[in-house]
Structure 1
Amino acid sequence: MNSSGRPVKIYDTTLRDGTQGEGISFSVTDKLLITQRLDAFGVDYIEGGFPGSNPRDIAYFNEARGLKLQHARLAAFGSTRRAGVKASEDAQLRTLLDSGMPVMTIVGKTWQLHVTEILRTTPEENLAMIEDSVAYLVAQGREVVYDAEHFFDGFKSDPDYAFRVLSAALRGGAGHVTLCDTNGGTMVDDFQRIVAQVVGEFGGDKVGLHCHNDSGLGVALSLAGITAGASMVQGTVNGYGERTGNTNLTTVLPNLFLKMGCTASCAGNLGELRELSLFFDELANLRPDTKAPYVGLSAFAHKGGLHANAAQKVKNSYEHIDPALVGNQTRVLVSDMAGRSSVAMKAKELGYALEEKSAEMKQLIEELKELEFRGYEFEAADASLKLLIAKALGVHRPFYVLEGYRVMIERHEGELFAEATVKVMVNGQPLHTVAECTGPVGALDKALRLALEGIYPELKEMELRDYKVRILESRSGANSRTRVLIESGDARAVWGTVGVSDNIVDASAEALTDAINFKLMLSRGGAK
């Protein structure tokens, strides 16, 4: 089926299914912020959670009733009535209604294995539970989405019964029936064939998709289902979810809009996609996936000189879309594979004009390749690279020189102490300071700050955000060369610096020195 121009509904379940992922937890305030952000982005449905299941979701739905959303419809999630209980007397269905949400999403069984062995009821009673529950909620003025749990496993076991389940939900008045690949084990060809059969029977405007990524196919299955005629996709931002996660909306959406020609209410906001992804990771306290398609930091990064040169001449020669369409940008990574064009592009990206045939370029490339050979890596250390380029061009000299340092570590009565003594030179003036901290890097950082903050007070704004160590020559054991990457930041920017040495403290001192010099270069206009 041709998908071009077809409207698709986007259903976000990050606040419910996404929070079932390991390490994912949102406060009530987080959930309200996410709801407003998804609404502003143009998502059609936002599933808020299980009302009544825990104090956090109860508080969320109480607060969510007061939100003035511009587009999205909020959904409360629950299950069908219990066996042998009238829908009007079922406590969970009453809790769903009490949430005050305009949409009720209820899950029910499709696979007879679950009907007889998990619910311990009959196939006919299961169908009645589905139809009665949907009809009751619709009669209360709610839009109902029916999630057919384990639909594909159930279909493979008994296609007729799987169709009867969907028929029961539609007879009850469900606006959509969602085909759930709950175990995430269906292959693409089977999935597309089965969805096409459902669409042929019931019409695509009623059919939604809910896929898990257990086989690494969550996105592929969702796209295949849309191709087969389905009209709604459920998923989570950044693919959060139980086990290996759910369909990743930050990958599905650009594929739907840019590659398949589908339309949706959020299609016009695709340029905000990377920002949306980062917003979710920030609230979830997760480091962003740099390799994520479309929105990852490395999604449009070029390292090989040939690739970088070609991309500079013709953007789409090595980029499948314009990165700006999803709020991303082209990045050039400088390494020992870099040629003159790569370095020139990187210099331009960092704000410097460096001619490809200049003497400075030749010297810089030779220095870069020597440094990479010694173990330096600048892909995550743009600040160190920018300082290197500025020095090569003669437009920067260090704001201070670390002339020497000493670090001592002591364990006393079960407590660890580190003391650092530093000697720095600033404008010809020597300064000595001593500081203590738990660890050697912290003590060194503190001593440097004590020496410099009186002259450069803006350093009080700077903080060390992250610290990584890599052993470069594992066969050398404890004598291995070490690379240290430090991430620093202030209220306006974040930057990375690198140091390499046979001694971990010395490598740290080098990366710290670059971090401080870069902060001062930012605050004092670059060159000094």
Structure 2
Amino acid sequence: MAAEPMTSGPTVAIYDTTLRDGTQGSGISLTTDDKLKIARALDRLGVAYIEGGWPGSNPKDLAFFERAAHEHWEHARIVAFGSTRRAHVAPEDDANLQLLLSAQTPTVTIVGKASAFQVVRVLNTTLDENLAMVRESVAYLKAAGKEVFFDAEHFFDGYRDDPNYALAVLRAACEAGADAVVLCDTNGGTLTEPLTEAVRHVVREIPCVVGIHTHNDCELAVANSIAAVRAGARHVQGTINGLGERVGNANLCSVIPILEYKMGYRCLPPGKLALLTETSRYVAEVANVAHDPKLPFVGAHAFTHKAGLHVNAIAKEPRAYEHMPPEAVGNTRHVLVSELSGRSNIVLKAQTFGIDLSDKPEIVRQIVEQIKELEFLGFWFEDADASLELLIRRALPGYTPPFTVLDYTVLTEYREGRGMLAEAMVKLQIHDQVFHTAAEGNGPVNALDAATRKALQAFYPHIADVRLEDYKVRVLDDHHGTGAKVRVWIRSGDNFRSWSTVGCSTNIIEASWMALADSLTYPLVTPLPTGTQSITPAVEAKASR
């Protein structure tokens, strides 16, 4: 299976509206700088159009278009979005149309009502005046030298109620010179079969390029976009990661690979499909939202395998449980290890750590049994690769721990006038020496961390660069109240990498110590990234004293 299949079908213009429709989603707010960063990423991906916003709606969008006019766009055309002229106002006197022209974009998109109900009940004007608004607005913008797209708002609802009027709106735009008419499922309630029939009818009747714009209220936005293309649409609007109003828009990160990889349409320039995962995650980062690991194609779990039967099969032939190669969209294959794991999971996972277990079946069997026992007790290794790697390394002959904990004590008390106080005392053995250290902290875990580092830094200077990045506690059996078992998850990092560890106990201090000890052990026993200085010489020098 080729990672980048030949595309022999028609071209479908990808129109991204993340910067306008996407920002209408709850919790999404982008600065002008954010919008420019995302626009540059979309241009690198190779989408045909980037809708930058509505120039008349807010100062940020005005600033975006001013700055975008001075950028070099390699693949995309920047689009300004607005509406048709107001009722009974001449185009040259309409403030919105003037702002569209002032945005200095090569392409503009205007939205108008394609539903008789919306015209009468929302616009409060006549059906004939609405047709004139569409016709005159498109003609005015075309006379100014713009490429013009007409978004037919509420088209499918309008088509269902009065198909003749909905088509009349499209004809008005097309006859005035619109470069494409875009059928909008504005409320997101249209099912795929009636949508397909409507698109086919439009393609037969209207001599313009037909586009599709869907919302995901019935979780059909991607399916409806694909169905519209099958029915003849050649312009697809959507957003990265499906961001958008209510529950979102059609997710271009799904639409693009389906059309290009699965169906053979041309959506992006050659070789650009492999940038899709990178773009998806970058947009989430800039928008300051968590990247959904369950997103198809680009999510962290999209090509993740857990069950032993599945992993055994993909080790022989990935097509057994993968519908396409993950690298085609820039993603990677992941193998999880859990109580469901078989030996193949362990062997493949160890390979990602640079450990070859292919000729060590007995060790693999022991590791599988240990993982099943630990997960029965409440450990969870799917998101704690560092603890898993240490478990594997500890099972190998010749493993020497960088330190051994002999005992530790944690005291926590409240003192009037001072508040809470935590103190930890730790006794470690490092090689043939025993260190007994103590430290205070703003909590018991912080105190344990500080006391342990005091002992380790003399032998392992690199430990000073290790920092705790995140700490989470999950109660596993809440019916036991304060005596419940808890799982502690810690993410740590240094100047080169991040790693995650896990601990589990009915005692939150013990669970925290397990995760903390692994987080400090991991950078001492695993190779540093290529090109960085190894900590081994410092260890040997200190140990010889």
Tell me which interval the TM-score lies in, with the shorter structure as reference length.
Answer: over 0.9
> By how many angstroms is 1:141 displaced?
1.1
Structure 1 residues 185 and 266: CA distance shift in structure 2, 3 A = farther
* Kept in 2: contact 1:421–1:435 (CA 8 A): no
Aligned pair 1:39/2:43, yes or no? yes
- Secondary structure (helix, strand or coil) at the match of 2:297 reads coil
Aligned pair 1:432/2:437, yes or no? yes
Structure 1 residues 418 and 245: CA distance shift in structure 2, 3 A = farther
Aligned pair 1:20/2:24, yes or no? yes
Measure, in 1, the Cα distance between the counterparts of 2:212 and 2:417. Answer: 60
Aligned pair 1:241/2:244, yes or no? yes
Measure, in 1, the Cα distance between the counterparts of 2:173 and 2:69. Answer: 27
> By how many angstroms is 1:481 displaced?
0.9
Aligned pair 1:519/2:526, yes or no? no
Measure, in 2, the Cα distance between the counterparts of 1:134 and 1:413. Answer: 73
Aligned twin of 2:331: 328
**Number of corresponding residues:** 524
Measure, in 2, the Cα distance between the counterparts of 1:10 and 1:169. Answer: 21
> By how many angstroms is 1:351 displaced?
1.1
Of residues 217, 227, 230, the one that matches 1:227 is: 230
Aligned pair 1:494/2:498, yes or no? yes
Structure 1 residues 461 and 161: CA distance shift in structure 2, 3 A = farther
* Kept in 1: contact 2:215–2:250 (CA 8 A): yes
Aligned pair 1:276/2:252, yes or no? no
Aligned twin of 2:204: 200
Aligned twin of 1:150: 154
* Alignment map for 1:306-321 (pairs within 5 Å): 306-321=309-324
> By how many angstroms is 1:266 displaced?
3.8
Structure 1 residues 131 and 444: CA distance shift in structure 2, 3 A = farther
> By how many angstroms is 1:374 displaced?
0.8
Measure, in 1, the Cα distance between the counterparts of 2:458 and 2:63. Answer: 48
Measure, in 2, the Cα distance between the counterparts of 1:215 and 1:17. Answer: 18
Measure, in 1, the Cα distance between the counterparts of 2:419 and 2:189. Answer: 51
Measure, in 1, the Cα distance between the counterparts of 2:357 and 2:130. Answer: 71
Aligned twin of 2:290: 287
> By how many angstroms is 1:401 displaced?
3.2
Measure, in 2, the Cα distance between the counterparts of 1:424 and 1:174. Answer: 76
Structure 1 residues 244 and 357: CA distance shift in structure 2, 3 A = same
Measure, in 1, the Cα distance between the counterparts of 2:58 and 2:455. Answer: 52
Aligned pair 1:164/2:168, yes or no? yes
> By how many angstroms is 1:395 displaced?
5.2
Measure, in 2, the Cα distance between the counterparts of 1:293 and 1:322. Answer: 13
Measure, in 1, the Cα distance between the counterparts of 2:159 and 2:314. Answer: 47
User: Relative to structure 2, which stretch is displaced further, 176-185 or 24-33?
Assistant: 24-33
Aligned twin of 1:141: 145
Structure 1 residues 244 and 397: CA distance shift in structure 2, 3 A = farther
Aligned twin of 1:259: 262
User: Relative to structure 2, which stretch is displaced further, 461-470 or 242-251?
Assistant: 461-470
Letter in 1 for 2:336: L
Measure, in 1, the Cα distance between the counterparts of 2:368 and 2:535. Answer: 22
Measure, in 2, the Cα distance between the counterparts of 1:44 and 1:81. Answer: 26
1:385-435 CA distances to partner (integer Å, 9 max, x unpaired)? 111111111354333334314141538679665544444443324141313
- Secondary structure (helix, strand or coil) at the match of 1:118 reads helix
Structure 1 residues 333 and 367: CA distance shift in structure 2, 3 A = same
* Alignment map for 1:333-344 (pairs within 5 Å): 333-344=336-347
Of residues 51, 54, 73, the one that matches 1:69 is: 73
Aligned twin of 1:80: 84
Aligned twin of 1:483: 487
* Kept in 2: contact 1:420–1:447 (CA 8 A): yes
Aligned twin of 2:133: 129
- Secondary structure (helix, strand or coil) at the match of 1:210 reads strand
Measure, in 2, the Cα distance between the counterparts of 1:300 and 1:376. Answer: 23
Aligned twin of 1:103: 107
Q: TM-score, normalised by structure 1?
A: 0.94
Aligned twin of 1:182: 186
Measure, in 2, the Cα distance between the counterparts of 1:461 and 1:396. Answer: 24
Measure, in 2, the Cα distance between the counterparts of 1:67 and 1:411. Answer: 61
- Secondary structure (helix, strand or coil) at the match of 1:244 reads coil
- Secondary structure (helix, strand or coil) at the match of 1:277 reads helix
1:449-504 CA distances to partner (integer Å, 9 max, x unpaired)? 45544543433433333333222223222211111222223443232211111122
Aligned twin of 1:382: 385
> By how many angstroms is 1:147 displaced?
0.8
Q: TM-score, normalised by structure 2?
A: 0.91
* Kept in 1: contact 2:466–2:492 (CA 8 A): yes
* Kept in 2: contact 1:340–1:356 (CA 8 A): no
- Secondary structure (helix, strand or coil) at the match of 2:47 reads coil
- Secondary structure (helix, strand or coil) at the match of 2:219 reads coil
Unpaired runs of 5+ residues, structure 2, are 1-6, 540-545
* Kept in 2: contact 1:387–1:396 (CA 8 A): no
> By how many angstroms is 1:261 displaced?
1.1
> By how many angstroms is 1:55 displaced?
2.2
> By how many angstroms is 1:509 displaced?
1.9
> By how many angstroms is 1:4 displaced?
6.0
Measure, in 2, the Cα distance between the counterparts of 1:345 and 1:177. Answer: 51
Percent of pairs with identical residues: 48
- Secondary structure (helix, strand or coil) at the match of 1:483 reads strand
* Kept in 2: contact 1:305–1:342 (CA 8 A): yes
